[in-house]
Structure formats: structure tokens, C-alpha cells
Structure 1
Amino acid sequence: MPTVSLPDDPSLEHLRHQARALHRAVRAGDAEALARVHRSYGTVGESFPLATAQLVVAREYGFASWAKLRQHLDVIDRYRWPRRTGQPVGGSPSDEFCRLACLTYSPEDDPARWAAAVLPAEPDIWAAAAAGDADRVAQLLASDRSLARREGGPHLWEPLCYLAYARVSQRDPLRTARILLAAGGNPDTGYLWGGLTTPFTLLTGAFGEGEQGPVRQPRHPQSLELAELLLRAGAEPNDGQALYNRMFGVDDSHLRLLFRYGLGRGEGGPWRARLSLQSPVELVQGQLLWAVSHNQQARVQLLVENGVEFPDGVVRLALLNGNNDIAAYLKSAGAPAPALDPVSEFVAAVLGGGEADPSMADQARAARPGLVVWAAANGRLDAVRRLVELGFDVNALGRGDTPIEQPWSTALHHAAADGNRPLVLLLLELGADPSIHDARFDATPAGWAEHEGHPELIELLTP
């Protein structure tokens, strides 16, 4: 098991530097370095070669050897997007069409950019795939079938990637996809966005959505049909990035389709064989935990009915988020009921609308200083009022996306982003300060309202 997490987009040279630094520190008799070696390797003799330092670093990151760590980095370099070795900017009309036409999960994603894409008269295979031009794709493949798997265009993607990530009006994407697959196109092709290890696959592109929402990161226009076509062709259903991108909304059509094709079962497919990814069981358990903490009752039931195993503490999680109906359902389905400590009972009561023991407020505030942010992000007006009455800071920084303590933004930021005018008014009445900037984007609540398309709140939130 790793004792430290491998950095995002890891650099081999940085890891070599770590090994060399450990080697020098051990040779100098540094006590902390010697302790690291003892934990991961064993007793240090008179000789301590650099290769042993490399082994220690590899084991700390969870790899059996330096060679295994190198192999992991080689996979990241092979599939990373953009490529480290220099990515073509794309000067041809086909390249420009692909660059404008495709969802890239970057700040540039916007309907206005896709609308500006103009298909050239004789597109190459990548632009033809993005346009869903089945006749042109068939014509090009008739001359060279290897084009079905060839990387190219401005992103160095295979043609099916351009098809799945395009957000322009496509002529016949399903027929185009069938032609590419019949010619040998890979239903599991994809890339590693920014060197992160969860792959952005064809299913990820078809299902769409994500942190920036369904307007800037929409689904493919024929999302379910394209996804099922890919699944029938052998695409791996245990797709962590696709699940993550769609978990923010309440529509479960993607889950129902993926369960039909093996979600939560099997070994995890070719990407898991290449990289250290979650198992299928862990993936669906993560979906259950998210649904429980975010009060997604229909999704909880769907996951349980499809045999997802109960993670430890799942009922406790439901109670601590005030989701009493979900807690009752989970217990009826066989999940063990927990015993709550006094602070947890206080949190569960406040968020769930029960009677909270005021004598526990100080301890609860020390343990969960940002609880008012979580209550606001979940639209629990009564809980917000009660927490402030019990001494919780209405201007505390916390997280609204998941129930952990991290000083990111205020309750007012989340009310503004959600366009929740009644909650905005309540928070202002309770003393919320609209001039506070959040810790991630350095923006005020008015800025959040503007970004999320709620101009009617800007004047209200402008000091």
C-alpha cells in the first residue's frame, strides 16, 4: 500500500530527484531518511546504492519496484493529452474544425466555440468523424483501413474520439461510428487529460457533463445511442471518468445502461490493466456514497437494486447529512445501523430537522466549522438558521460539494451559484458578508451568481 500519493501528472525527472536526495540523505546519516528506508526496505547496511533509494521511493508510492513505477509513467506519457513532446497546433482547415468542434474539458468549452466550427469541403478522417460524415469516412477508409485507429488532428486523437467529443451538428454519427468500428476502430480508445490517471474514453465523451455543468459540457446529442453502440462493440462499462462527470446531476439513464453491460463487475478492462485504477466494485461503491451524501434517493435505490455492496458507514453517512429517508431505506435493505457519538447526533439532528442538544454546539462547531456551508449547499434553510442561532459562523469557509472540512467558500457563494434567492435573503438577514472572496477562484458571491447565470441576484449581492 502507498504511504504517499503519486503527484498528478508525475514527472520522471522529479522522481529521480527524490531518489537522489534520499540517497544523499541516507549516506549523510539523516535520521528521517534512515527511518523512511527502514519502513519501506529494511535495515541499511554500509552500502546504500542509488538503486535501493529508487526502490524505496517506488514502494512509498505503492509500486513493487522502480521499473514498475517507470512503466506507470511511460503509460501516462503515451496517453497524456496534450502530449509532452509537442502537440501540433493545427493549421489546416480540418484541424481548425476539429479544434473548434470538440469538447475538451478545458476553460475553452463553450457553445459559441462549437458554433464557430466550419467543416471544409474535403475533410480528413478526423474532421469527417467529428462531423459524423459517414460517406466521407467510408471513402477514406476504402483507401486505408488503418486510418480507423490512427492518431491525428489537432489533439492527436483517434477518429472515434473526435466523433464522441464533437458538439457540433453531426450528419450521421451512429452510422459513422459503426463504419469506424467495423474497420478496426478501438471502442476503448481515450486519453489521459493533463496526465491524470482516470482515462477520458469514448463513453466519457458520449455521456458528457462534468464540473462545469451541462451547458458548457453537454452530453453528445445522441448520448445513449452512441454509448450503447460502443458498449455492444466491447467498450468497458466500468468507466470512472464517465461516472464522475454524470454524478452531479440526477438523471440515471447512463447508470441503467452501464449496469446492463456489466458495470460493477469484471476486472475493469484495458485501462485498469495499464494503470492503478479503482476496481469495478470500488467504482460503484463510490457512486453510492456520493448519492447517499447528496440525497439522491432514486440513485441510491438503483445502485442497491443492482447489487452494489454497502460500504462501511453508509447509513451513518446518510444520517450525518440529514438524509433520514435514505438511512431508513438502507437499513431496510440490510445495511447495518450505526451508533452515533454525541457530536454526530447533534449534526444529524440539525441537518435532519430533529431536536439537537444545544450543549453539544461548541464541540460540533470545533469538529465541523464549515457545517453551515454544507447545509446551505444542500438548500436546507431551516438547518442554516438553526446553526447560526447555535453560534456557527455564517461567514465560515467550507466545502459545499462534499461533507468534509476545507476552507473553500461561504454559504452565500453556494446560494448565489444555485440561484436560491430565498436562501440568499436568509443568509444576508443572518449577517452574511457579500464582499468575501472564496479561496479557490478569488471571487465574491456576486461573481459566482454571474458565472452560473443568475444575473437577477447580482444587485442583491453587490455590497
Structure 2
Amino acid sequence: MWHPFRDDVQYYEERARGLLASAWDGVPGALEVFDDVPLTEEGAHIVLAQAHGCEDWKALETHIRRPRPFARAYQAIEMQNPGELKAIITRDPWLVKASGTNGNDLLGLAAATEDERVVEVLLNDGADINHQNVHGWTALHQAAYVNLPRLARLLLDRGARTDLEARGAGGTPLTVALFWGNRETAELLGTDPPNLRTAAGLGDLGLATDPEAGRGYYRPHSGFPRWWPTDDPQEVLDEALSWAARNDRTEVLKELLRRGARIDADVYRGTALAWAAYRGLENATRALLDLGANPDQRTTFGGPMHGEGVTALHLAAERGQLSVIRMLLDAGADRTITDANFEATPANWAGHNDQGEAQALLSA
């Protein structure tokens, strides 16, 4: 049985949607929870309630408001209070092996807080370092997602596996790190799976011993839209170019283009230039522009309500990447161009995200 650890109903609504998305993606742990329940929003409500020992959603709403040991332990983690956490699990040692909503254990929740002290408490008291939630996610996946190399080293030293998959075939911690361009952590996580996109993200195309394998992972969470990767060689090349760019691997960009990758391809939520600009990567941005990337190329990015018809300049503005903004403007980027969702200029994006310097630069 899963133990609730939050008392707001909206949190469980989001977990139900995430559970349904993983089941749609064919993630084994999520499919197992649904069993013969339909893969619908109503079905997700049913299975989430029943997994918490409740008859229906209304009963779950009452259940989550009752204080329980697992919730108290989670609160100690959130407060980054290792002493209180230790006292709680000393009283109730079963907590380190228990699972909360969507199969999340305390160790996985602690990794999300970025606090190595609470992680140490749980590991020293017997937490399973390789526990996977219903999405297949482990504590090491979380360290890769947030780009926490020190936490990743700690977990690796204590026996964390680098080959466990989350949210699709090939969804190793390395894949998660490279998706976001978290190369500092990625460099600790091996080379599995050895496909072209991971090789490109690591800056060594020779690592691609099986270029098309393990590409079932394509979105880190349900906020990104559904998609199904294919084994189309063009798609494989285009995706590799994007992963090289977001990890600032300028040494392989030219070779991927020589092999036939398209510099303007938006193979899944972002061209190579869009990712380089979003990450604020001066070297990759400059290299792509020198290789012929169009600074006004429109692309998708992130979730459907985040980026539709955006340009690299919008994304650099959102994050306040001043040097990249200047580079794009010098390359002729149109500062008046508007995106498809909000009909907003890059300056508007900067202002909406409290990037005052970027907004001033783009409004000059």
C-alpha cells in the first residue's frame, strides 16, 4: 500500500495524470498498477485511490488529511532536518522500506531536495538505493535530472546502478542527465545505452555501438507531449545533433552535419540552436550559427503550453542568457518576432520571467 505524504488534493490529481502518462508510454510499473483498469483519467483516479487503500477518490481526499508517520518523515526531509528524520525512522524503522504515492520511497523524495545529509540518514538506516517508483525512477535518476554531481557520486559510491531504466527503454540516469544538458553529472554515469544520441551528448561518436537502441525514453515527465521515436536514420541523426548541442559538444556538431543531420530539425521539442540558447551555451550557439543555423528558426520547446513557434531568442530571453542574446542579435535575430501561443516577443518573455536585464537589452 502507498502512503500519502502531501495533504493537497491537486498534488494527487497531478500524480494521477503522471501515472496515466507512464502507462500510455508502456512503462511496466505503471501498467502493473492499472492491471485491468482502463487507461483513462477516471481509471487513474481509481487505481491511485485503491493503491492508497481507499475505495474511491472521495475517500482518498479524506485519507490524505490525516497525519501519518510517512508524511512526518517527508516533512522532515522537506525541512532538510536530518536529526528529526533520524528520530522519526528510529521510532518507525519500517519507513525506510515503505512507498508513498506512485511508489516513491523516502530516499527518492530526499534526492529531490538536494540535501545529502538526509540521503545519508536514509542510506545508513537501510533504504534501498536502487528502489524504482512506478515510472522506474531511482534516486540516481533524480540526481541526474537536477544535475547534482556530488549527490550522484555519493549514490554511486554506495552502490547505485546506472543501468536501471525509467519512463521507457533506455531511460537510464545518463539519458536523463543528457536530455537536460546536465553534462557535469552525465560524465559520472557511464555510457549506457550506447546509441547515437548518448554518444553525441558525451562528445564521442565512437561510443555509438548501437546507434538506434534504447530510444524509448523521450520525455522526462507528462508535461511534455506524447511521441513515439522511430528507427528512421534521419530522425536518429537529427536527435543526436540536438543532444550534442544541449550538452555543448561542439566537437561533434560538424561531423553529425556531415553525416546528414539537419541543422533546422525539431525532432522532439527543440532544434539544436533552441537548446543551446536555452542552456546559455555560448560555444554551441556560436558554432551552430557559424554552421548555418537560422537565428529566427521557429521551433517547439518543452510542453505544448510552453513553446510553440518560438525562436532561440525567446528561450534565451526567458532564462536571461545575456551573452547568448547578444550573439543572436549580432547574427541578425529578429527581436520583434512573436511566438504562436502568446503572440509575445522575446522582450515580453524576458519580462514575464523577471529577467530585467534581458528585457532591457531586447527593448533597446
Q: Same fold (TM over 0.5)?
A: yes
Given the alignment, which residue of 120, 135, 150 partners 1:253?
150
* Equivalent-residue separation in structure 1 for 2:342 and 2:117 (angstroms): 34
Q: Residue 219 in 1 paired to residue 117 in 2?
A: no
* Equivalent-residue separation in structure 2 for 1:441 and 1:220 (angstroms): 37
The runs of 5 or more residues in structure 2 that have no matched partner are 1-15, 213-232
1:107-162 superposed Cα distances (whole Å, 9 cap, x missing partner):
xxxxxxxxxxxxxxxxxxxxxxxxxxxxxxxxxxxxxxxxxxxx65x3x5632333
Q: Residue 174 in 1 paired to residue 54 in 2?
A: no
SS across alignment from 1:302: coil
SS across alignment from 1:254: helix
Q: Does the C-alpha gap of structure 1 residues 170 and 318 become closer, same or farther in structure 2, counting only changes over 3 Å?
A: closer
Q: Residue 158 in 1 paired to residue 68 in 2?
A: yes
1:374-395 superposed Cα distances (whole Å, 9 cap, x missing partner):
2323444354345456252524
Q: Partner of 1:207 in structure 2?
A: 111
- Which AA in structure 2 matches 1:84? W
Given the alignment, which residue of 269, 275, 294 partners 1:392?
294
Verify the 8 A CA contact 1:237 1:258 in the aligned structure 2: no
Given the alignment, which residue of 209, 222, 226 partners 1:336?
209
Given the alignment, which residue of 193, 212, 227 partners 1:311?
193
Q: Does the C-alpha gap of structure 1 residues 254 and 181 become closer, same or farther in structure 2, counting only changes over 3 Å?
A: farther
* Equivalent-residue separation in structure 1 for 2:309 and 2:52 (angstroms): 29
* Equivalent-residue separation in structure 1 for 2:266 and 2:299 (angstroms): 14
Q: Does the C-alpha gap of structure 1 residues 178 and 80 become closer, same or farther in structure 2, counting only changes over 3 Å?
A: closer
What's the offset of the Cα at 1:359? 9.4
Q: Does the C-alpha gap of structure 1 residues 221 and 291 become closer, same or farther in structure 2, counting only changes over 3 Å?
A: closer
- Of residues 451-460 and 352-361 in structure 1, the stretch that sits farther from structure 2 once superposed is 352-361
- Which AA in structure 1 matches 2:250? G
Listed as ranges, the matches of 1:182-331 within 5 Å are 182=93, 184-185=94-95, 187-192=97-102, 199-208=103-112, 218-220=113-115, 222-229=117-124, 232-234=126-128, 237-239=131-133, 240=137, 242-259=139-156, 262-264=159-161, 278=166, 285-292=171-178, 296-304=182-190, 310-313=192-195, 316-318=196-198, 320-321=200-201, 323-324=202-203, 326-327=204-205, 331=207
Higher relative contact order (CA 8 A, sep 6+): 2
Verify the 8 A CA contact 2:257 2:263 in the aligned structure 1: no
What's the offset of the Cα at 1:191? 0.8
Listed as ranges, the matches of 1:48-67 within 5 Å are none
What's the offset of the Cα at 1:445? 3.9
Listed as ranges, the matches of 1:427-442 within 5 Å are 427-434=328-335
Q: Residue 456 in 1 paired to residue 336 in 2?
A: no
1:237-284 superposed Cα distances (whole Å, 9 cap, x missing partner):
335164454324332333344445553399x9xxxxxxxx959x967x
Q: Partner of 1:128 in structure 2?
A: none
Q: Partner of 2:264 in structure 1?
A: 365
* Equivalent-residue separation in structure 2 for 1:79 and 1:438 (angstroms): 42
- Which AA in structure 1 matches 2:85? L
What's the offset of the Cα at 1:423? 0.4
Q: Partner of 1:69 in structure 2?
A: 37
- Which AA in structure 2 matches 1:77? A
SS across alignment from 2:57: coil
SS across alignment from 2:98: coil
* Equivalent-residue separation in structure 1 for 2:265 and 2:152 (angstroms): 38
* Equivalent-residue separation in structure 1 for 2:327 and 2:300 (angstroms): 18
Verify the 8 A CA contact 2:278 2:316 in the aligned structure 1: yes
Q: Partner of 1:85 in structure 2?
A: 58
Verify the 8 A CA contact 1:228 1:257 in the aligned structure 2: no
What's the offset of the Cα at 1:180? 3.4
Q: Which has the higher Rg, Structure 1 or Structure 2?
A: 1
Q: Does the C-alpha gap of structure 1 residues 457 and 223 become closer, same or farther in structure 2, counting only changes over 3 Å?
A: farther
1:389-442 superposed Cα distances (whole Å, 9 cap, x missing partner):
6252524223379xxxx8464312332344321101112233434455556787
How many pairs align?
300
RMSD over aligned Cα, in angstroms? 5.2
* Equivalent-residue separation in structure 2 for 1:236 and 1:423 (angstroms): 39
* Equivalent-residue separation in structure 2 for 1:359 and 1:416 (angstroms): 31
SS across alignment from 2:174: helix
- Which AA in structure 2 matches 1:238? Q
Q: Does the C-alpha gap of structure 1 residues 362 and 238 become closer, same or farther in structure 2, counting only changes over 3 Å?
A: closer
Q: Does the C-alpha gap of structure 1 residues 421 and 234 become closer, same or farther in structure 2, counting only changes over 3 Å?
A: closer
